Amino acid sequence: MLPALAAWILLAGLSGPLTARGQETPPPRLEDVLPAEYAAQVREIARQAGEAGVPPGLIARKAYEGAAKGYPPDRVVVALEEYSLRLREAVELVGPGGRPAGLAAAAEALRRGVPPDAIRTLAARDRGGRDLAVPLIVLSDLREAGVPTENALEMVETAMDRGARGDQMLGFSAAVRRQMRQGADWQTAVDRVRRRAGARLLDRDRRTQPDGARSGDGPSRRPATTTPVPPGSEPPQRLRDGS
């Protein structure tokens, strides 16, 4: 699954369907999609998770998802119990008050094998309440592609520090994964993508510099008040799955 599509599914799944007027419609009752006894079990799972700081809506939405896919009710309940445990761990890693999308992404990252310490590190860099969903999706994608956790984490941290948009971060990981599908090892793939990103960064900096600073100055002669940016440290601006 392409990372952009994965992100859309995760983020869009955290809100209900919209009416023609753009207003969110209320979700159906659990009894409308599950037998009463299983609906009661789901509510109990949600209640216990809520006491641990998990937004109850995350459990309910997962129940609707399982029912919509036609899974037997008993399997839905078992899956929700496991999901609830991951969400509780996500709350501990991200901290109280985390956004639902970020908590859901943290739980999914745990399922995909991302080490808890890596999630905790990203949460510590979540300045200004920035949502962690996309950074965690990108970290999970890179790790599953074969990039070591430490290196994948460094790339995501750099992108966060540089204020990269979500689509830029997703494009960064998509480009790395595309290079690897074409036969490159992870280090070569990362180096190639960083070189492209670095060239675009230098072009962007030259375009945004004042005329006086730009005239006759190369990238190595920026004003003293400007912090130099190491080539290759900027996530890609317009990469779309390796484009």
Task: Report pLDDT digits (tens) over 37-91.
Answer: 999 999 999 999 999 999 878 999 999 999 999 999 999 999 999 999 999 999 9
Instruction: Say whether both 114 and 190 belong to one domain.
Output: yes
Within this chain, do residues 141 and 174 fall inside the same structural domain, yes or no?
A: yes
CB burial class (10 A; 0-12, 13-18, 19+) of residue 138?
Answer: buried
Across all residues in the chain, what is the average pLDDT? 77
Full domain range(s) for residue 205: 98-209+229-243
Residues facing residue 24 across a β-bridge? 18
31 pLDDT above the threshold of 90: no
Same-domain pairing of 80 and 174: no
Asked whether residue 19 is domain-assigned, the answer is no
Residues 113 and 201 in one domain: yes
Residue where one domain finishes, among candidates 97, 120, 142: 97
Does 92 share its domain with 103?
Answer: no
| 80 located within any domain | yes
Query: Which pLDDT score, from 0 to 100, does residue 26 have?
Result: 59
Residue scoring higher pLDDT (13 or 31): 31
185 lies in the same domain as 102: yes
- Higher confidence at residue 122 or residue 216? 122
Q: What is the pTM of this model?
A: 0.70
pLDDT at residue number 141: 94
Looking at 97, 114, 142, the residue that finishes a domain is 97
Residues 76 and 136 in one domain: no
Residue 144 and residue 205 in one domain: yes
Residues 66, 135, single domain; the answer is: no
d(CA 17, CA 25): 6
Residue 52 lies in a domain: yes
Examine the domain organization and report whether 44 and 66 are in the same domain: yes
Assess whether 158 and 185 both reside in one domain.
yes
Q: What is the pLDDT of residue 120?
A: 94
Among residues 54, 72, 97, the one where a domain terminates is 97
Q: How many domains does the chain have?
A: 2
Look at residue 147 and tell me if it is in a domain: yes
**Does 16 reside within a domain?**
no
Are 50 and 151 contained in the same domain?
A: no
- pLDDT of 67: 92
In this model, does residue 184 exceed pLDDT 50? yes
Overall average pLDDT of the 168-189 stretch: 91
